Structure 1
Amino acid sequence: MAHPRQEKQAPPRAAMAPGVPTRVLAAKVLAQVIGRGRSLKAELSTALPTLDDSRDRALLEALCFAVLRRRNAYDAALAQWMQRPLSVREDELRALLLVGFAQLDALELPAHAALSATVDAARALGRERQAGMVNALLRRAQREGIPPQPARAAFPLWMADRIEQDWPDQADAVFEASLQPAPLWLRVNRQHGDRDTMLQRLEAAGIAAEASPIAPDAIRLPTPVAVSALPGFAEGALSVQDLSAQQVADAMSLRPGIRVLDACAAPGGKSAHLLERDPSLHLLALDIDPRRLKRIGETFARTGVGEHAQVRAGDAGDPAAWWDGQPFDAILLDAPCSATGIIRRQPDVLLHRRETDIEALVALQARLLDACWTMLAPGGTLLYATCSILREENQFQVEAFLQRTRNAGFLPLGDAFGHDSWAGRQRLPGENGADGFFYARLLKKG
């Protein structure tokens, strides 16, 4: 009995030429993200440890990010240059072609190496019969270049429209900045020394670094390096955290020794920052997902703040299920949101976020605000924060809360936190080299 023709299986890793395993992995990761709706972060967390060389790991990340930022342009080029569109079952081959385009276009890698490794990757994926087609399409991309598209075209239509509606004067800059690679920001742990000392250690290690003028613990690296190369990282002297996220601690401006709740704490970076600044705080790090508590624990252990904090699983929107009834003097509510301010770090937001998500997110944010308010002591402050740039989740959310909550007011924040947004402040992507972020500091009258 005749058997149907089978595609050749990928050869063992050891048989692949240098650079080929990275392209194969990039195609597999992107096929999951684009074709099956998987999270880029989750897929990379599985794929990156399989590569031994830090340069290969950096290339894998760069390829995936570049493809997702320019996916619409690359898809348009494929549609224009191919006589027959690829089938749904050929998702890995399609992803590999996008990886090839990204090498020539966004990353500007040497054409010979990019073409050779990508064609070999097609064979490694069992696509020997299509290797010639891959070669031909990449050579055309090399000759003609990818047809240009405006940055706005990378965004879903509904998202682009909302950004233009909310930020008409800044929308073009938002689109452009959101498609650029994000810089590497570091946070200095004050329990290990001051920022000037850490800058000297980085200089001694041959790592260029510069201090932020608006955030006292923030250092920016013009050229990113692997965290393993950072002096003091393993011991907790440095952490990777964007400037905007670091300014949460500045916005909260806590008094020593008070009782603090981080209501949506995972992975624990903001809680750790607060405790690095003041170990006298009585801090509870809460997260609704018990599986994410491990990440918080790891963050606390590396930074050395674990003995000063409690970690608990619980829904901040349902205090009756876990709260002991003792009010908190300060609450951080870094609420779930659309993530439209961090697209440069999570480009799959362009792919996965739906307009229908916004209504559900706004309802969840309102529920969390109301519930956290019941746990706040009179005279206490609640910092409402998101990594969104949509007014519906930010300014309008806070306006609605203040209108329905008679004992709520707000404390103004300065220009260092971004554009004036009535009761809060909004930084847009790329401003001060930072992510898009919203802050509103709310006061419980009493």
Structure 2
Amino acid sequence: MERPSSSICRVSGDHHAGLLCHYLLQNGSAQYVFLDIYEGCYVGVNQYRSFHAEMNAHICASCNGLILITLPSANGLSYHTYDLFAKQCVSLPQPQITRRSIGTALAFDGQCYQVVRVFRVEAKSVTANNPLASSEEDDWLEMEIFSSETGMWSHYCPLIRLPPELPKLSTAPLFANGAIHWEVGGYLLMCNLSQRNCKLIRLPNHSPNWTWHTMTFGQCLWESEGLVHYCYSNIEGIHTWALLKGQDHGSCPDYSSCDIASFEWTLVLSIKHETLISRNPDVFRRLESLVHTVKHETLLSHRADAFTKLEQNRYYFSLLNWKPYFISPCGYSSVLKVIYLRLPGVIVSYDPSTQILSEICTFECPNLDFHCCSVFVVDYHLQGESRMEDAGSSRGKKELVHLPLADMIVQKNSSESCK
């Protein structure tokens, strides 16, 4: 592995839309497929930026084409950054804090980057070193920050009291407007690294009483037009809120504990599941026969013809049996102005202006575990960028990419994967 680099340069140019798909194979390995997306639905596989890892390298965060990867090590986890454009993998020094973090984020401004690990720490540990902190029983926030400029980890303990632990979803952190944003226990944790300023903001769907009706089944964060957006799905449908700046507060959701004066969100989009299905009946009917599966032993064979013996596997799916947890918002493209949704066996884009779904790629999800495929939006700006499309995909044809890709299963190029 190379030593941490203090500077990574991005050249501005044309706006491109991409999607990095992290697919976990049944044998423990993983493939990372980069899709170039045209006009919201035409897809080309970018072989140059796609790679395969013999072990599952978990992606913690993605920011401006730089991804943060963790691998198991003798000391717990090791951290690596991988530049999708320079195809450069860099190993970070081992962190000083060995206990498990509750969140990890990446901030990359196009030149230098920072990695931030978030921890819970008991109140008595904080008050022992800081007399300004109270000795109440609530946990406090602790951070460990790596800077590519110094090549070192540093400790930071803002006086922020964390909410009680609540059911947590796997929500990718967001770096926007100079700050990192996490979802923590029904709140948005916002940390401005340059100012060393942290703030907890209650999310619009937060409720002290977690029931089937208040439960969130999927959620994601993004930045659009200078505002941080929070999107989630629940039993009713898909909802998107924008975090307001200044004193411009929107309407308050119907929660008895809501204080309108301090509410910092405004609703920008809400669509019911019934409406989404009625506007896109063909997409949901295709879920019955869309996904192809391969026998477990075939996946392990590493033969060039591994995908010549596909078997059709129909989901026992019906529009009448549609479940709200079948849908999971997973990202937003600021270039194409579409929301990406993950359904069982398919990634789709949703255009809020037309309410139309477009299928991007399909994937095998054994036992209906459609979380085996995660996606990261990579909207980027490169000058003179050459798109390397897969021979089976074309901008002029609306064709679907199916994951996992056979040629990547047999590919063994260790120089392009973090080990």
Give the TM-score normalised by the residue count of structure 1.
0.23
Higher helix share: 1
TM-score, length-normalised on structure 2?
0.24
Quick check: which has more Rg, 1 or 2? 1
Higher strand share: 2
Q: With CA pairs under 8 Å and 6+ residues apart, which has the higher RCO, 1 or 2?
A: 2
